[in-house]
Amino acid sequence: MTAAHVETARPTTPGTELGTPATEVSTPGPAAPVRGKEHVVGRVADIPSGEGRAFVAGGVQVAVFRMRDGSLHATQAACPHAGGPLADGQTDVDVLVCPLHLYAYRWSDGASTSGAAPVRVYPVREQDGAFVVTV
């Protein structure tokens, strides 16, 4: 960026922090493997049918999806491609589609349908009206 450009590269609103340049955000990639600890992350009423919501399970950000047929899925919350918020994605019986660049990830193994890095999937079940995720 030339000097003149930097001058204008300030937040317009006073008091706002400037983030890190986009170029310095490294590709998040897949999350760490599952270690096997169970966490209760939320209740059934927290996730409308067909949608996803994000939670923190033992320090790990997870996105939990409740499908229209009642089945559950959980994945890492940030897209391995460029950190997109996967809980904001759209779903069907086979895949989860990230809202940012529309990469699709298979529920079965987290693999991307386009050959990009896979998303980590976590075991999730419902117990007494609550979601239990194993991370």
Sheet holding 60-66, edge to edge: 52-57, 60-66, 72-76, 121-122
Please tell me whether residue 105 binds ligand FES under the rule CB under 6 A: no
Tell me the window of 9-17, 19-27, 66-74, 94-102 that interacts with ligand FES (CB under 6 A).
Answer: 94-102
Q: Which does 51 bind (CB under 5 to 8 A by kind): other proteins, ligand FES, none?
A: other proteins
**What is residue 44's DSSP assignment?**
G
Neighbours of 45 (CB within 10 A): 7
Residue labelled with tokens 């320090």: 59
Would you give the binding string for ligand FES spanning residues 31-70, x where CB under 6 A is met? ----------------------------------------
Would you give the binding string for other proteins spanning residues 26-65, x where CB under 8 A is met? xx-xx--x-----------xxxxxxxxxxxx----x-x--
As a whole number of angstroms, the distance between CA 63 and CA 88 comes to 9
Which one of residues 10, 68, 101, 125 is an interface residue with ligand FES (CB under 6 A)? 101
> What 3-state class would DSSP assign to 46?
helix
74 closest CA partner among 33, 135, 129? 135
Positions in the binding site for ligand FES (CB under 6 A):
79, 81-84, 98, 100-101, 103
